[in-house]
Every structure is written in C-alpha cells, then in structure tokens.
Amino acid sequence: MAGIDKATFFVRGSVQGVGFRWWARAKAKELGLVGYARNLDDGRVEVCAQGPVADVETMERLLSEQPSTAGRPGRVRGVTAQWGGIRSDLDGFTEQ
C-alpha cells in the first residue's frame, strides 16, 4: 500500500463532551480517511486515521493547529502522534 499510512493521535485538553469526536469524524470523512475517534478514561481523545500520507498529515494539522481554522470544538492543549502499523480491519470512520 504505497503512500498509505496510519497515525494514532492522542489529543489533550478540554476535548470530551464538546462535539470533538463528531468534528474529527466529519473532517476525516472529508479527507477520505478511515479510522475512529474515541474518548479515553484519562480525558484525552484518541483519533486513529489511515489513508494517503498527505491526508493523514492534514488531519494532524487540523487536530493541533492553534487557533483552529476549521471550527474545532473544545480546547486542545497538545497532540501526540504515533505513526505506522497499517490496519486492514478499518472501514469507514466511526465515533466510539
């Protein structure tokens, strides 16, 4: 799968209960990415995004840019990315 990669982003800040997962899903679908967004017990949101490298990089920028130019809800204090590990079981983009 040349040119395809996956990144898992861990988003810190006030990102739960504000529509952040819905927003992440909408942006990922616009970019044609597959994956998911889910709340973690420690207050972060985990966003897994897989697709063309340039589009995954765009998703990372949208998640972390300050201030948001894309109407991102909540307040993001930081984003940590883990790249690699393409998954064949991802289909569509879901909120979990």
Catalytic residue among 21, 25, 44, 72: 21
Active-site residue 21, yes or no?
yes
Provide the H-helix boundaries in 1-96: 20-31, 53-64
In 8-40, which positions are buried (b, 16+ CB within 10 angstroms) versus exposed (e)? bbbbbbebeeeebbebbbebbeebebbbbbebe
Active-site residue 44, yes or no?
no
Catalytic residue among 12, 25, 38, 39: 39
DSSP state of 3: T
Which residues have a catalytic role annotated? 21, 39
